[in-house]
A = this chain, B = another copy of it.
Amino acid sequence: MLQLSRFPIKTSKDAQKVSDNRSTSLLLQAWFIRQEMAGAYNYLPLWLIVLKNIENVVREEMNSVWAQEILMTSLWNKESWLKTWRWDTVDVLFKLPASGNKEYALNPTHEEVVTPLIGEFIQSYKDLDSMSVYQFQTKFRNEARAKSGLLRWREFLMKDLYSFHKNLDDLDVYFEEVRQAYVRVFNRLWIGQDTLYAFASGWAFSKYSYEFQTKLEIGEDNIYVCSDCGQAHNDEIVEWVFSCVNCKSAKYEIVKTSEVGNIFKLGTKFSSSFGLNYLDEKNSTNEVVMGCYGIWISRLMWVIAEYMMDEKGLVWPESIAPASHYIIVIWEDNLEKAITLAKEIETKWWNVIIDDRTGKVWFGQKANDADLLGIPNRIIISPKTLEQGGYELKGRKENEGKIIKI
Q: Please report A residues at the B interface, Cβ cutoff 8 Å.
A: 6-14, 34, 36-37, 40-45, 48, 51, 66, 68-77, 94-100, 104, 106, 113, 116-123, 126-127, 129-133, 138, 140, 142-145, 154-155, 359
Q: A8-B130, A121-B9, A130-B8 are in contact. Are A42 and B70 (CB under 8 A)?
A: yes
Q: Provide the residues of chain B in CB contact with A10, threshold 8 Å.
A: 121
CB-nearest residue of chain B relative to A128? B8
15 A-B residue pairs with CB within 8 Å: A7-B68, A8-B68, A8-B130, A14-B120, A36-B113, A37-B75, A37-B104, A40-B76, A42-B71, A42-B72, A42-B113, A43-B72, A48-B70, A74-B74, A99-B142
What is the bound-complex CA distance between A98 and B41, given in angstroms?
Answer: 17
B69 touching A45 by the CB < 8 A rule? yes
Q: Provide the residues of chain B in CB contact with A9, threshold 8 Å.
A: 68, 121
- Per assembly, the copies of the chain total 2
What is the bound-complex CA distance between A126 and B6, given in angstroms?
Answer: 10
What is the bound-complex CA distance between A99 and B99, given in angstroms?
Answer: 22
The 3 closest A-B pairs by CB, nearest first: A43-B71, A99-B144, A40-B73
- If A37-B75, A45-B68 are given as contacts, then 16 extra A-B residue pairs at C-beta distance below 8 Å, sorted by A number, are A7-B68, A8-B118, A11-B123, A34-B120, A36-B77, A40-B75, A43-B70, A45-B69, A74-B140, A94-B96, A97-B97, A98-B154, A99-B142, A99-B144, A99-B145, A100-B144
Instruction: For residue A145, give the distance in angstroms from its CB to the closest CB of chain B.
Output: 8
Q: Provide the residues of chain B in CB contact with A104, threshold 8 Å.
A: 37, 154
